[in-house]
Amino acid sequence: MIVNQFLVLAALLFSVGIYGVLVRRNAVAVLLSIELMLTAVNINLVAFGSLLQDALRGGHVFALFVITVAAAEVGIGLAIVILIFRNRSSANVDELDLMKW
Amino acid sequence: MSFGEWISQSANVVFLVISLVMLAAAVWVVVARNVVHAALWLALALAGSAALFLQLGAEFVAWTVVLVYIGAVVVLFLFGLMITRAPLLRDPVPLSHRRRWPAALVALAVFATITVSTTSFFGWGEDTLIGEGVTPTGALGDLLFNRFVIPFEAVSFVLLAALIGGIVLARKDPKE
């Protein structure tokens, strides 16, 4: 296994996630696409960690931190989406333009 | 390293199968109109990433992905969709709207940029071979609680704040 195969796979997953973030209008679907992008980043981190095999295991440790932050992001994001839906009975991100100018 | 040499190693065949499953699942996450189906496809994509981590010898990260992502995050998505009465299940807008092609162009440009820059930096030589070594979970725990204890505590504080914030946001306002 060489490191480039993991980099190409992660780039593919990341761009699929970007496409989803840009094209989906349902806020929950946008959050799911963001999870895909975070997974792509994790694959890169773990691949680098296993390539370097350094004493600090930086790649693996930072992948764990990314997982934790992703869990926090999903909790808050889903709470916000549910709250927005309760107040405006829509989760379409195109209709949420209150903070746009 | 030529493609023939590359594919002749069994680990790379396993990698190819896992990555194709992951890519198909990722595409279905993005195109599925039913959000519950999209969440289930995301679980498959995350399971693929856990399998890749096992291949890379990162056992603790792999099982953390299974526990936290598949066990908690995807279940949180499904609970959030199903417990609330929000009819979020269907995307109101079909995917074939006018932003489809610009979005595809942006995604393609991002893919091209990342791939060209990273693969040309690392090259395809023998020095980028990933060793077989397995990261022992004990060593990882030792590092987390010694060298990385401050970031670890910071991230646990972030998680606690997110937990409290989620409860505060999602509960009903008592004044109503």
- A37 strand-pairing partners: none
Give, in order, the Cα–Cα distances in Å from B69 to each of A87, B3, B75.
Answer: 29, 33, 9
Diameter of chain A measured on Cα atoms: 52
CB pairs below 8 Å between A and B: how many?
256
**CA gyration radius, chain B:** 21
Residue B89 has a pLDDT of 61
- Using an 8 Å CB-CB cutoff, list chain B residues near A19: 30, 103-104, 106-107
Residues 40-59 on A with a CB inside 8 Å of B are: 42-43, 46-47, 49-51, 53, 56-57
Residues 62-81 of A with CB under 8 A from B: 63-65, 67-76, 78-81
Kindly identify which residue of chain A lies nearest to residue B16, measuring between CA atoms: A5
Q: Do B29 and A20 touch (CB under 8 A)?
A: yes
Q: Which domains does chain A have, with CATH numbers?
A: 3-88 (1.10.287.3510)
Tokens of A83: 């709250």
- pLDDT tens, A14-60? 999 999 999 888 888 899 999 999 999 999 999 999 998 888 888 99
Q: What is the ipTM of this complex?
A: 0.91
* A57 CB-contact burial (10 Å; exposed 0-12 / middle 13-18 / buried 19+): buried
User: pTM for the complete prediction?
Assistant: 0.90
Nearest to A50 among B119, B130, B156 (CB): B130
Q: pLDDT 10s per residue in chain B (176 long)?
A: 677 888 888 889 999 999 999 999 999 999 888 888 899 999 999 999 999 999 998 999 999 999 999 998 898 888 888 876 656 566 556 666 777 889 999 999 999 999 999 888 888 877 788 877 888 899 899 999 999 999 999 999 999 999 999 888 877 776 65
- pLDDT score of B87: 62
